[in-house]
Amino acid sequence: MVGNPANTNALIASTYAPSIPKKNFTAMTRLDQTRALSLIADKTNAKIEEIENIIIWGNHSATQYPDTHFATIKGKNLRQLVNNDKYLDSEFISRVAKRGAEIIDVMKKSSAASAAAACCEHVHDWWYGNQQGGWVSMGVIPSEAHYGVDKDLCYSYPCNIVDGEWKIVDGLKLNEF
């Protein structure tokens, strides 16, 4: 699902199409993950392909949480390399969540091209597996609870994808923030 509210739309579609397995419905948060990668690449002068495991938790909305606590740049801890928790815990989160509006404000036109590119990346990852080696963020509807989120809700998690099957990355130790 790409159209907003993507998570809600995926959940509604899955409810009204009961013959299709819920695992076949996903909501795109790849756009947000790509925006987060771009901001970190600009901040650190790293190449996007050198950055792994930035996670988008939640929903494609202003309430999403772009998480850098598990992210690396060339295998090194991203947060240590950026060395600016204030930026990562406030401005960065806000900029990722509001990047679409920022693009529209600056360009005076829709960010539809970015969404289209992210949709292609989302489907590519889903079909071929994680293309950048790190986790991919996807709004999925799991059949069991993960990280305190009720089952049967469409929520963006870090996922690994093998042979067209997404699997939520479990076991991450979440901090208080």
Q: Which of 70, 74, 20, 28 is nearest to 47 (CA)?
A: 74
Residue owning tokens 């970190």: 40
3-class DSSP state of 54: coil
Catalytic residue chosen out of the listed positions 60, 69, 122, 124: 60
Per-residue pLDDT at 106 exceeds 80: no
Domain ranges within the chain, ordered by starting residue: 6-168
Query: Could you confirm whether 124 is annotated as catalytic?
Result: no
Gap between the Cα atoms of 12 and 47, Å rounded: 38
Chain segment 131-161, per-residue pLDDT in tens: 766 899 999 999 999 999 999 899 999 999 9
Chain segment 41-100, per-residue pLDDT in tens: 999 999 999 999 999 999 888 889 999 999 999 999 999 999 999 999 999 999 998 766
The arrangement of secondary structure in 6-168, i.e. its CATH architecture, is: Alpha-Beta Complex (3.90)
